[in-house]
Amino acid sequence: MSRIKTFNLPDLGEGLTEGEILAWLVKVGDDIELNQPIVEVETAKAAVEIPAKWAGRVQAIYHPEGATVEVGSPIIAIDTDPNAGPIEQSTTGAPAAELPTPSAASLAAVEVAPEEGMVEPGLIGGVAPGGRTAVLVGYGPRNAPAKRRPRKGGVPAQAATAPAAPVQPAPVQAAPAPAPVVPAPALNGNGRPAGGPVLAKPPVRKLAKDLGVDLATLTGSGPLGSITREDVQQAASAPAAAEPLTVAATPTAAASFGADREQRIPVKGVRKLTAENMSRSAFTAPHVTEFLTVDMTRAMKALDRLRERREWRDVRVSPLLLVAKAVLLAVKRHPMVNSTWAGDEIVVKDYVNLGIAAATERGLIVPNIKDAGRLSLRGLADAMTDLVQTAKAGKTSPADMSGGTLTITNVGVFGVDTGTPILPPGESAILAFGAVRELPWVHKGKVKPRLVTTLGLSFDHRIIDGELGSKFLRDIGDFLADPEAALLAWT
């Protein structure tokens, strides 16, 4: 049984097909434990730390930070018995465990020696600084041309052509280190192997041709040093006598505009998923939005009294907590609101997974509190606090964002009065909670300053008609106008 175990990128939830490697938490040569986090990956839903499936020593890392990897692709190799001595080889000369073939992009960055038998210093198979041999990640040094061995007993072609040398991966830096994943070959003045191929997508090549830019003179700022549209546009706008353009290959570099004064931002991750979901929802579910303005003065005074209680002094108490409680109580009075359109049937749910929309650095996410209707007010407050802290830390898991049944979006934190929110797919209602402002209000026959907010309820008109939507919104407003009286009347 092979000591070298190859770890593939797992499906992190609900059929996701790819993920972007944000940071490696280990490097080649590190000893790791079972379930130790080894890599942070961003999917279309969240950033997730993936734990190791085995204990052992990191043997190879196959993708650099910033690379997008398909689910099921190898990302790391682990020697599960590092104290057993050198890695054994099979009788055919191949290593005991086959490591994945490098990607086309990785091979494109390697220059072939000019003559057979001559290998320039720094190139794959040549002498690198310090006297060691430069190799691709997961491959040993080899100067001679590859030769295909005849198959024996059904040995796969890949195994037959594998290098005979033991696995000898190049060092890979941990997440904080800026060094590249593989040893860099000899570079020209533009940071690319001398005479090596240029990495650029067809649209970028066309743009360069149209603008008269020589791609070979540029240093790419994209993944694996690829040339981007921004690189080409900056080169086109540079003075003719200037030196070749050099762009820092870092994802945190400040965004810049090209000659056309336009900036193109790749749509991926959370933003891509949000765009797909919102487009699908907006054009499949017939939306209706109703508004209600509410005097929340009594509710705000009730929150002040709640904060003064000894058992609530360390609890985060906000108006959003009362809004969430109002929604949960209104759902009990109008269960049809908490349902899903399923084509030939409507699925009404006896549980409420309450979504709270949160704006993060990676985009809008909607984690939900599972079975929120069964929680006490204190339990709901604690769950909302945990949800917000986890979202701010970028640690919300895909499971926390799956299965929502009804959502609240707090647009009031941005100073907005209300909005017409779009339904998350699979849900039939979403409530926008606006800013609480001191406004003139008729109270007991006199105009007085009162704390007022505006609610906006969007709902799926296939399930919720005007009467049901209006009653549901009215009940939420009644609770926020006088929460103590509503609790006495409804519970």
Catalytic residue among 63, 287, 443, 461: 461
Say if residues 65 and 86 touch (Cβ distance below 8 Å): no
Structure tokens given for 135 = 């190799």
Q: Please report, to the nearest 10 degrees, the dihedral formed by the alpha carbons of residues 158, 159, 165, 167 taken in order.
A: 90
The single-letter DSSP state of residue 377 is: H
Q: What is the DSSP string of 214-244?
A: -GGG----SGGG-B-HHHHHHHHHS-TTSPP
Distance of alpha carbon 422 from alpha carbon 277, whole angstroms = 10
Q: Identify whether the C-beta of residue 239 lies closer than 8 Å to the C-beta of residue 209.
A: no
Instruction: Return the half-sphere exposure (C-beta side, CA atoms, 13 A cut-off) of residue 178.
Output: 5
Q: Residue 421, SS3?
A: coil
Q: Which sign does the torsion angle of CA 151, 155, 157, 158 carry?
A: negative
Cα 207 to the center of its chain, rounded Å: 30
Kindly provide the b/e burial profile for residues 239-260, where b requires at least 16 CB atoms within 10 angstroms of the residue's own CB: eeeeeebebebeeeeeeeebee
Tokens (6 digits) for 90? 């099979």
Contact 8, 59 (CB under 8 A): no
C-alpha count within 13 angstroms, C-beta hemisphere, residue 57: 14
d(CA 29, CA 167): 12
Q: Residue 150: what are its φ and ψ, rounded to 5°?
A: -65, 145
Whole-angstrom Cα distance, residue 140 to residue 130? 17
Closest CA to 455 of 424, 414, 410, 415: 410
CA 183 to chain centre: 28
Nearest-angstrom CA–CA distance, 399 and 418:
29
Is 461 annotated as catalytic? yes
Inter-residue contact 59 to 77 (CB < 8 Å): yes
The span from the CA of 105 to the CA of 103, in Å, is 5
Report CA-CA distances (Å) from 39 to 50, 52, 78, 158, 177.
6, 9, 13, 28, 14
**DSSP state for residue 198 in the 8-state scheme:** P
Nearest-angstrom CA–CA distance, 319 and 433: 10
How many residues belong to the chain?
491
* DSSP character string of 51-106: EPSS-EEEEEE-S-TT-EEETT-EEEEEES-GGG-SPPB-TTSSBSSPPPPPPHHH
Active site residues: 461
